[in-house]
Amino acid sequence: MTPPPHSVPLLRPRLPDGAALAPYLAEIDASRWYSNFGALERRLRARLAEHFGLPEGGVVCVANGTLGLTLALLALEPSRGALCMMPSWTFVATPLAANAAGLTPWFVDVSPESWSLEPDGARQALAQAPGPVGAVIAVGPFGSAPNPDDWDRFTEETGIPVVLDLASCFDSARPGRSPAMVSLHATKVLSTGEGGLVCSTDPDFVERVRLLSVFGLTARGSEAWGLNGKMSEYAAAVGLAALDAWPETRRCLAALTTQYVAALEHLSGVRLSPGFGRGSVSGSCNVEILTATAESVDAAMAEAGIETRRWWARGCHRHPAFADCPRTALPVTEGLAERVLGLPFYVDLDAVDQVCGALREALEQA
């Protein structure tokens, strides 16, 4: 039997509607140019560069974030089979991208304060590396972006390149030299449906990623092991319309964030995810349940008609595909996996009191 629909769903993405897209689609009709760095993709790239305070050439648009991560890793040209250090506390796209770039995911633990792999943690983990480390992927969890300068310094000191997986950090990401990927998937605050971008303060590196995203093709033929990671003009049209609406989208998300902070900051037994409500907006609201398991609260919330999700499940190391990947001890990840729960969050959500009331009751029952 199909379960009854939740009265409050977890997520209801809202992308630009047909009217907002129409002028951009008319441009595509007129130009008859549908992909391969057309006028809309170039304009989107320029506007995204402006958003991140980068000069033109600081951003490349890609078909999705996973391909963006893969391309950034390929552009670093690490030795095939080398280890790629990364947190297990991430979405599966992170290790999948490393594998696609010819690297072996090596899972390490995160800081209990930031929920992310930090440069000091990475330095300590290096002493336990079970083989040569070709690259590090640092992840900005749930919209909380790391300081890129700290990671650039890590690379200067160790010689190991870093890629920043800032999939959900469109609003908080600050680019540095280490390439950063931001996802533009439908679940993200700025979306092209499927899409992503790679940015860096190093335009030569960004140009290398762009070249790899078009089969590594130059006038001389395919010069490098690239792939097809280009963004189509249709996705770029959605991105441009989404950027037009971004000030309003951001205002709504900031108001929602403020409501959640006000409702949850005095609720004992829960802690908002690091960075939530600290000036930037994200596409999800995650809490750490301190007095019960996320599984039991998830079940109680479902009884109350409210959909919740353990976004990163039990950590990547628990997925069958990565069972053989090397890893360090992961006590913080294991704890977060037991306790972190995503609450409903989307621009026109009008049930924050209902969600937080149900959460309070679920905690009282636990």
Ligand X SMILES: Cc1ncc(COP(=O)(O)O)c(C=O)c1O
Nearest residue to 137 (alpha-carbon basis) of 102, 85, 200: 85
Question: For ligand X, which is the closer residue by CB, 67 or 359?
Answer: 67
CB nearer to ligand X: give 198 or 358: 198
For ligand X, give the closer residue by CB, 64 or 104.
Answer: 64
Binding site for ligand X (CB under 6 A): 64-66, 90-91, 93-94, 139, 165, 167-168, 183, 185, 196
Q: How far is the CB of 90 from ligand X (least distance, A)?
A: 5
Residue among 184 and 211 whose Cβ is closer to ligand X:
184
Nearest distance, CB of residue 137 and ligand X, angstroms: 9
To the nearest whole angstrom, how small is the minimum distance from the Cβ of residue 66 to ligand X? 4
Shortest distance in whole angstroms from residue 221 CB to ligand X: 29
* Cβ proximity to ligand X, 116 vs 257, nearer residue: 116
Closest CB to ligand X among residues 95, 259: 95
CA distance 240 to 238: 6
CB 289 within 8 A of CB 346: no
Cα-Cα-Cα-Cα dihedral sign, residues 5, 8, 333, 267: negative
Question: Measuring CA to CA, which residue among 82, 135, 91, 154 is closest to residue 286?
Answer: 91
| Residue number with CB closer to ligand X (168 or 259) | 168
Residues found in the chain:
366
Buried residues in 175-212 as b, exposed as e (16+ CB within 10 A): bbbbbbbbbbbbbbbbbbbbbbbbbbbbbebbebbbbb
In the bound state with ligand X, the residue whose beta carbon lies nearer, of 24 and 91, is 91
Residue 198: closest CA among 105, 40, 73: 73
| Distance in Å, CB of 125 to ligand X, minimum | 19
Report whether 141 contacts 90 (CB < 8 A): yes
> Please, where are the H alpha helices in the chain?
18-31, 39-51, 65-76, 93-100, 119-126, 148-158, 203-212, 233-264, 294-303, 331-339, 352-365
Query: Which of 52, 172, 173, 171 lies closest to 163, judged by CA?
Result: 173
- Report the residue number, 138 or 292, with the smaller CB distance to ligand X: 138
Q: How far is the CB of 159 from ligand X (least distance, A)?
A: 25
Six-digit token string for 114: 């930031």
**What minimum distance in Å lies between the beta carbon of 173 and ligand X?**
12
Beta strand 83-87 with 133-139: parallel, antiparallel or unpaired? parallel
Q: What is the dihedral of CA 50, 53, 55, 56, to 10 degrees?
A: -30
> Are the C-beta atoms of residues 341 and 308 closer than 8 Å to each other?
yes
Q: Can you say whether the dihedral through the CA atoms of 323, 326, 329, 332 is positive or negative?
A: negative
Nearest to 97 by CA among 57, 48, 139, 160: 139
Cβ proximity to ligand X: between 232 and 259 the closer is: 232
- CB of residue 283 to ligand X, shortest distance in Å: 9
List, in order, residues 6 or more apart from 211 with CB less than 8 Å away.
Answer: 217, 218, 223, 224, 226
Q: Which residue is nearest to ligand X (CB)?
A: 65
Question: In angstroms, what is the minimal distance from the CB of 182 to ligand X?
Answer: 9
Least distance in angstroms from the C-beta of 30 to ligand X: 29
